[in-house]
Structure formats: C-alpha cells, structure tokens
Structure 1
Amino acid sequence: MKIKFVFLSLVLAIGLTSLLAACEKEGPAEKAGQQIDQAVDEVKEEAAQIKESGEDTLNK
C-alpha cells in the first residue's frame, strides 16, 4: 500500500512539473500574437502622428 502511494506521488509530481515547464515556453501562436500587438501599437502611433499633423495643417 505504501509503495503504491509513493509511486502515485512520484508520478503526480513529475506530471505537474512537466506541465509547469510546458507553460513557460512560448508557442508559435503566442509569438504571432505578440507580433500582431506590436504592429497594432505602431499603427496607432503613426495614426496619432498623422492626426496631429493634419490638425496642425488645418489650424494654419
């Protein structure tokens, strides 16, 4: 009985450790999502600059 408990505990510990290690790695979807977020931020910044430039031109 004690051997089964030790074996089960060991299997669970290894399994949980594997799951935690897998969560740290970024997959292709996460990398693509980060690239999309960065591109959207850049477009927002450029749009704000264009807006300011247009407002300056209209106010002259």
Structure 2
Amino acid sequence: MNKLLAAAGLAATVALVGCNKDKAPETGATTGEHIENAASQASHDIKNAAEHAASETEAAADKTAAKIDAAADEAAAKTEAAAHNAKEATKNAAADAAAAIEKSAADVKEKAQQ
C-alpha cells in the first residue's frame, strides 16, 4: 500500500511539474516516460499486494479449517469417552442391583428356613 501511495505521489508530483517531453538530464527519460514507468510500477505493486492478500486469506482459511477439524475430532473423542463411561456406570449399577437382589433373596430364604 505504501508503494502505491508513493507511486501515486510521484505521478501527482510529475503532473504538477508539467508534462515536459524534453529529455531530463538526470536519467535521459522524458516526463511522460517517468509517468508511464510509475504507472507500470503501481500496477505491479497493486497486483503483488492483491496476490499477497489472497495468499494470506487462503492461509488463514486453511488454519481455521484445521482448527475446526481438530475441535470436531476432540469433541468426538470426548463424546465417545463419555458414552463408554456411561455404559460402564450402567453395567456397574446393574451388577450392584443384581447383587442386592440376590442378597435380599438369600436373606428371605434364610429367614424362611428358620
């Protein structure tokens, strides 16, 4: 962006000085050639800036997608672990209930035999 502003400033300065078609002694280029070169450079700078922005946007999107995938994987793993824990808790509760029923039945049988 700074290059674009510098190029625009250069073009404006040259335009204010005037479109002198005589050869400038320092470079041998005419003012028109300087303006064309500045415009060409500004065009290249804009193209490069747009490509850089597109690249940065794509990298950010890829990074975001990777984070979303990792979060989904983590959520799936935690859900699976919770389901396993719930299954184990249910199995243990059923075993405890069966043991309690068996003990009660044994107690009733023992009392009945007395």
Q: State TM-score, norm by structure 2.
A: 0.36
Greater helix content: 1
1:47 matched to 2:92? The reply is yes
Cα root mean square deviation, aligned: 3.1
Q: How far is 1:50 from its partner? A: 0.8
Q: Deviations over 1:18-47 (max 9, x none)?
A: 122223436xx74xx358613332211101
- Percent identity over the alignment? 11
Alignment of 1:7-46 (within 5 A): 7-25=51-69, 30=74, 33-34=77-78, 37=81, 38-46=83-91
Q: Structure 2: how far apart are the matches of 1:16 and 1:43? A: 42
Higher RCO (CA 8 Å, separation ≥ 6 residues): 2
Aligned to 2:26: none
Number of residue equivalences: 57
CA distance in 2, matches of 1:36, 1:18: 27
CA shift at 1:59, angstroms?
Answer: 3.1
Gap runs ≥5 in structure 2:
5-45, 106-114
Structure with greater Cα Rg: 2
